[in-house]
Structure 1
């Protein structure tokens, strides 16, 4: 009998199907074998199970896990899964269309299943799990290939080639190991305290009204004020650039050759520069000063670059990586806020680098709104200020957006991050009737909440949660194990290269 010592492991979801690639060239010697295999697959689709007739040369290795081959051998687990998937596809009809894609689908599916099977068996055996020879013999006594009139036939057994008997015994042993894993997965214990905790999160549920102060509502006047205070950041000029990565001396030599007119700036860029602009002779187009600040090490060097006149070349300046030689192609243009592109650029810059300033402003606006609700109703004040009042459905404390519980919102993307903000749930479930909450930051918005109602969840609904919880836990555990396997450094996936080599050759 198998040992009862079983070690739990993490593990995989086999790689998703890769797109079918361009057919690869195959040596002529493999072509005839490939045609035979492909014919066998076609025959399998139309109902003649002749794959098992392939001899010893029918072994194909598609990958490995911890050095253990994930292989196709007539009669083994891979072969069985291939036959099952082919039968499923045949039962669906339409198997005559796009045959190559269907062949790929069947064999890739069999490979994915065998990967998981091989990994689990390997990890179980590493943990010390053992299946006795007597247990294997008991299962072989009922193996279909050895039965005659429902009874074990010693004659059939002895007529089976030794190599095939070995494969069958190996497959039966591995299946018993895998079966033990499945039995373990079906009996994952859950404590009563875990279940009770989940129930406590599921009830009560609350419904709230809310308004949003999105970051996009940050006033244009504030954007303009920021530009006025930081005008130098938004000057722009057109430059060409040469990037030298081999040191300051090499950069100075290139600069001197340009100054002495031994080479043009464009030739210098094409010959020596190591950046995306080299092929265009260094032309990097118009750039804002803040963009150059991100690549030039010293801010004062950026100021020097922007003071260049048309056609002037600056001495090399140090960058985060290498040395830079700039030529001014169009002199600096001051920022003009009446230009829509400049407005958009300043706002985008602030969203990336000055979010705190936007957030502070909108938090201040939200606090003013809350203060005014002391004398004016929440809904009335919102209408007066042109703010839309929205309402959630009932939801519980679903931190992390667990599938076990109702989500905060299925419709409003502005609330999509609420499930991951502890402050949101603390605020929501601390509210008193008709009270306006403190502002809560949610992604690119500030929100204010008002409690609409609270209700207890019905006992029968909580019981449903208890019934389905073990199933959901099992599913998540399996997904984690599958992910572990396919991302493991011990997993080698050669499926595509082998498939295209053997099944879709070019003459």
Structure 2
């Protein structure tokens, strides 16, 4: 296969990928299937009896249809057989069935994409190659040896179908040989990957989060935002269908044809209906989040006892409120209230919390300038702290690199996102001198101050284990490339995907 062929395979507008795109796809490894499902292939409905109706899409000019015995049909049977006795997945038979058919469709699309790529590059499989495959792989062997009589006794259709299947296999194998093995399986690449995690570092660390802030911080915020935390007891009716339906219901309530409570039980479409619409005590900000209008929220909180609001548009429908008790100001001393403020700020005022935590991190770092011990100072300031084990830069906890920050910090929740935060890892490993302290680093909802505690070379892989380790690396690379291929092909401009429409026509037609 030429270089141009490799670079043009599976092109899609707006998608960037490596010049040599490919994946280790063999008879048993094309698209590693992670589903566990069992579903017999049922008879097709009468309304989906013609071949034309069973076209699930196209890849380029190639039709992807279901015909008994074709690649798509064989994939469905293959997946069924693999997972026939498995029961660790959903018991929903319809769900399993669709999953099996969808996976078979995806595999078929990739197979057709491979064939399309090879065809465009002029690759063909000769009759002589197919003849050889019939002898070596065909079902005509007796005691392991090709039997001419068995071959002659097979029907013409059986031979024709077998040759087509073998051609598909040979094309796939040709693709693997041209694109995969020569391009990617070389010692230089494997040596490079094997040494990616050679430098390891360990760190002392201090963790600052919302729990590091005292009650006065949250009390101060609440005292300057009292309106947000005004609380009222409210009844509520929710109507999803239309404003007209809500207005008619409100009219019946106002005319006393039905009580608010009975209307809520009979007509409301929210979780408070069974309680007669009793929504309990709600903060001003909670109601504001629903109605998305400060004026409307002010009007609700201005209602008198038992007064009913007009119909109000919300983010999800229309509501009618009834005031049960007039609003009250928050108790700024109550711990329960301060906990509510902390929850609110953690969701809505992350910037303010982050700024305060960064200030605390800088205060901590300032104390270290007097040559204070990192961990001792953190403990004295009642700051969460610890020391990691040695680990290498390993973005995404890649299995090709033995160590990771996740394991090195004993899966500390504060570092749960660290392996996927490139900027954090970059700044952490920029520390080069033992004892050097970082600036406060943002990591999720935490601020981390780190100190380099040591650097070492990772333990060398024993020579007698290197071959196996390189094999693991090859498998891991294959997995990534496989995922890339699937994403590129299934999002390609060449793919016309009508799977759901045709599937519904087969299984759900009346």
Q: TM-score, normalised by structure 2?
A: 0.71
The corresponding residue for 1:478 is 482
- Cα distance in 2 for partners of 1:379, 1:143 equals 67
Structure 1 residues 384 and 143: alpha-carbon distance in aligned structure 2, compared to 1, 3 A threshold = closer
**1:125-181: per-residue Cα shift (whole Å, max 9, x none)?**
222143222321232234544456776554433311222222222221122122223
Structure 1 residues 154 and 114: alpha-carbon distance in aligned structure 2, compared to 1, 3 A threshold = farther
* Aligned residues of 1:378 and 1:436 also touching (Cα < 8 A): no
Residue 331 of structure 1, aligned match among 326, 329, 350: 326
Gaps of 5+ in 1: 30-60, 90-94, 502-507
Q: Secondary structure at the match of 1:397?
A: coil
- Cα distance in 2 for partners of 1:371, 1:440 equals 15
**1:160-208: per-residue Cα shift (whole Å, max 9, x none)?**
1222222222221122122223434333337899778757853432211
Structure 1 residues 188 and 363: alpha-carbon distance in aligned structure 2, compared to 1, 3 A threshold = same
Deviation at 1:429, TM superposition (A): 2.3
Larger mean CA deviation between 77-86 and 280-289 belongs to 77-86
* Aligned residues of 1:207 and 1:454 also touching (Cα < 8 A): yes
The corresponding residue for 1:307 is 302
**1:346-369: per-residue Cα shift (whole Å, max 9, x none)?**
111111011111111111111011
Q: Secondary structure at the match of 1:425?
A: helix
The corresponding residue for 1:164 is 158
Deviation at 1:326, TM superposition (A): 1.6
Q: What is the RMSD computed on CA atoms of the aligned residues?
A: 5.0
* Aligned residues of 2:41 and 2:77 also touching (Cα < 8 A): no
The corresponding residue for 1:217 is 212
Residue 394 of structure 2, aligned match among 389, 398, 410: 398
- Cα distance in 2 for partners of 1:77, 1:8 equals 25
Deviation at 1:449, TM superposition (A): 1.1
**1:67-115: per-residue Cα shift (whole Å, max 9, x none)?**
53567649996599589959xx9xxxxx9x99xx9xx9xx999989966
Q: Secondary structure at the match of 1:409?
A: helix
- Cα distance in 2 for partners of 1:248, 1:147 equals 74
The corresponding residue for 1:384 is 380
Deviation at 1:318, TM superposition (A): 4.5
Q: Which has the larger radius of gyration?
A: 1
- Cα distance in 1 for partners of 2:170, 2:500 equals 25
* Aligned residues of 1:14 and 1:115 also touching (Cα < 8 A): no
Deviation at 1:314, TM superposition (A): 2.4
The corresponding residue for 1:363 is 358
1:54-65 mapped onto 2 (5 Å cutoff): none
- Cα distance in 2 for partners of 1:162, 1:222 equals 84
Structure 1 residues 208 and 62: alpha-carbon distance in aligned structure 2, compared to 1, 3 A threshold = farther
1:409 aligns with 2:406: yes
Structure 1 residues 136 and 113: alpha-carbon distance in aligned structure 2, compared to 1, 3 A threshold = farther
- Cα distance in 1 for partners of 2:100, 2:176 equals 18
- Cα distance in 1 for partners of 2:282, 2:34 equals 42
- Cα distance in 2 for partners of 1:174, 1:394 equals 49
1:230 aligns with 2:234: no
The corresponding residue for 2:497 is 490
* Aligned residues of 2:204 and 2:388 also touching (Cα < 8 A): yes
- Cα distance in 2 for partners of 1:433, 1:162 equals 77
